[in-house]
Amino acid sequence: MLRVLDDGVQLCDGFTRREWLRLGGLSCLGLSLPRLLAAAPRQAAPGTLATFGRAKACILLFLAGGPPQHETFDPKPDAPAEIRGPFHPIATNVPGIRFCELLPRTAHLADRLAVVRSVTTDENAHSASAYWMLTGYPSPLKGVDFAPRPDDWPCVASIVQALRPGGAPARAGRAPFGAVVLPEPIVNNPNILFPAQNGGFMGRGWDPQVFRCNPADPDFRIDSLALPGDVPPLRLRQRRSLLEQVNRHLDAAGRHGVTANHDRLTRQAFDVLTSEAARAAFDLRREKRQTRDRYGRHKFNQSVLLARRLVEAGVRLVQVNWPREPGDTSSGNPLWDTHTDNAGRLKDVLCPPFDVAFSALLEDLDERGLLAETLVAVMGEFGRTPKINARGGRDHWGHVFSVALAGAGISGGQVYGASDKNGGHPAANPVRPQDLTATLFHLLGINPDTEYRSPEGRPLRVSTGTVLDRLLGLEPATQARITPGGTVGPIPSFDRGPLANLSFTEGTVIKDTFRNPAFWVINPLWRPDRGDELSACAIEARGRHHAVLGYGLATGRGHGRVPQGTRVLLTQPIFNPRPGRYTFTVQASGGGNDPTRCARVWGGQCTCRLMVFRYTDAARSLDKIAELAGVPFDVSFTGEEPVPVRVSADVKDQEEGKQHLNFGIGVAVVVEKSAPGVLDLASAGQHQAFLQIGAAGLSYQP
């Protein structure tokens, strides 16, 4: 974040020391910190005194884009199918509380969570709703997306940094940050910065420290925490000593807000560069491999682990934003903004890493004795529409959505508020964002009634909301526990490519594409009762694994009548498809027990085809797929080596006037009986013939 140059300190956003002097004309919110902390007294609600200031730190997990309430914390199993979606609710470990089946690990920890199911902004624009959620104040620009402005309200992270600074200076063994944002700021398409992520009218000097990083990278490091090679520690100490001498002279002459603010920032810059605590916190190599694996090797997940390390080092608030994927600022369903293929994105890309990271964080904090003093909050800018749209997605919905809280001062095992039967509007106890910020400030020891004056002299409050007293407590809301539902399997790999099992070595094929992991699907799959009709299977022969599509696969004596149009597919959905060019390649060869007859009968009756296709319904039915690109190819039965066959498709989405990605896309190898009439295998004397696929590959260019 900060580095020492010959002409002074420079931030990652490009501001030099001289620019800081020009921009930082106000001290904290236009006043000195003592005046800012002069809070008007307020009558504490019963039961809140014990929880005031209970949290020494806060970790805010922000699921940018807007997570759907139906597929997370507020399932609606009794609603019509177009509202409830394809997933089922599961019991949590607290009687009467159910989550979506996509969060099985979180369901085991419901006794530590307070879920608010009635949050509402009535804002359906990303920027406007996020502004309210991250500042506690409604946006003056209603219903539109906009970039940050100098007169914005300061974000919660900036307020916390001003009123509850982080650990002592680096020499005391604490990280010199008050608030940190990982692993990147939030941006809207096409790469427009969200508002409410900085100090607003407080000034840039109160922005949280933003670290753009990928903690899942094997070579992860923060270069700005290392001294430049030409500035040894002794020289840095000499510079700091000289600066302190100048500051003493300025103190004697009387200092004004600009200089004082600059001095604070400059001291922080030196603290960053000399902070062993900061460097240690960012060094994930100090974590056990098992711990890193438990969090999941994903950019978001390792950022959550890094957040835990930062609060241990004294950082007061760490906000972990859901990260962007390469090239997705031109996508119609980026982040949690699932306008298309809601079910596929949630099942494959979004819920698994969140469920792993969130549950790991709660368990890890608890095991370390930190959960009782660390507030954990999960939120997005809004929710998703109750009704699934024609593209298989859910659209923006600020009328009601869910937020989950855990940790310091939160009484777990409860649900507060309710949405209606379709998850569309609050049905009980509506909660506004300012109520959430007031609760957060209260738990961090900041009186929500704290008053200060704006740069124009207007009296303002840190929060106008009401502390949600029902959520507070030092014990769970209930001691009753039950066995949670759902299936908790091994921690998945989050660095997988667009296709799995490329060499067929796993030997397992799964027919059900929608409710199971994405591996090769064969349709129709060979079964003993099917005999030797046209079908397919995965086999191992002579130490090599491959898939075969044809007839006579079991006994070598094909039988049955095969009408025109009959086809067999070897197919797999593309994992997390994005707009761009996909090139699908296979190694193909032919086989059978009579090469001459194979060539005559197969060659005259069947065709082979390689293709990239799109699904046309949410169930991903293989009999309803639509081809995006296809290439026919011939197969030789003379025992020659496999030959490569490839096909490329340019995949577009709704932002380019196409809707290829509505329900997902896939690749397929197809064998079809294309000649007119019916092929009687027994009468034709065709014993065995098949197409053999020995390996596959898929490349992607955004």
Q: Give the model confidence (pLDDT) of 120-156 as tens digits.
A: 999 999 999 999 999 999 999 988 899 999 999 999 9
Per-residue model confidence (pLDDT) at position 566: 84
Helix axes 433-443, 126-135, angle to 10 degrees: 30
Residue 44 has pLDDT above 80, yes or no: no
Three-class SS state of 596: helix
Classify burial at 257, counting beta carbons within 10 Å of its beta carbon; exposed 0-12, middle 13-18, buried 19 or more. middle
Residue 444 has pLDDT above 80, yes or no: yes
Q: Where are the alpha helices (DSSP H) in 275-389?
A: 276-281, 289-295, 299-312, 342-345, 351-367
Supply 360's token pair.
Answer: 């790991």
CATH for 521-701? 2.60.120
Q: Which of 58, 653, 688 is nearest to 408 (CA)?
A: 58
Per the CB < 8 A criterion, the answer to whether 318 and 182 are in contact is yes
Query: How many angstroms separate the most distant Cα atoms in the chain?
Result: 108
Please, which residues have CB within 8 angstroms of residue 210's CB and are 6 or more apart in sequence? 1, 12, 180, 181, 184, 185, 197
pLDDT tier for residue 62 given thresholds of 50, 70 and 90: very high
pLDDT tier for residue 5 given thresholds of 50, 70 and 90: very low
Q: What is the identity of the amino acid at 366?
A: D
Q: For residues 205-221, give the mean pLDDT.
A: 92
Least confident of 64-78, 335-349, 371-385: 335-349
**CATH topology match: 31-222+282-471 vs 521-701:** no
pLDDT tier for residue 32 given thresholds of 50, 70 and 90: very low
Alpha carbons 241 and 381: distance in angstroms, whole number: 46
The predicted-structure confidence for 177-196, as pLDDT tens digits, reads as follows 889 999 999 999 888 999 99
Q: What is the DSSP letter of 373?
A: G
pLDDT tier for residue 686 given thresholds of 50, 70 and 90: low
Please measure the distance between the N-terminal and C-terminal CA atoms of the chain and give it in whole angstroms: 30
Please, which residues have CB within 8 angstroms of residue 293's CB and are 6 or more apart in sequence? 491
Per-residue model confidence (pLDDT) at position 180: 95
CATH for 31-222+282-471? 3.40.720.10
Q: How many CB atoms lie within 10 A of CB 219?
A: 5
Where along the chain do its domains lie? 31-222+282-471, 521-701
Residue 8 has pLDDT above 50, yes or no: no
Per-residue model confidence (pLDDT) at position 506: 67
Q: Return mean pLDDT, the chain.
A: 83
pLDDT tier for residue 15 given thresholds of 50, 70 and 90: very low
Per-residue model confidence (pLDDT) at position 457: 77
Per-residue model confidence (pLDDT) at position 556: 64
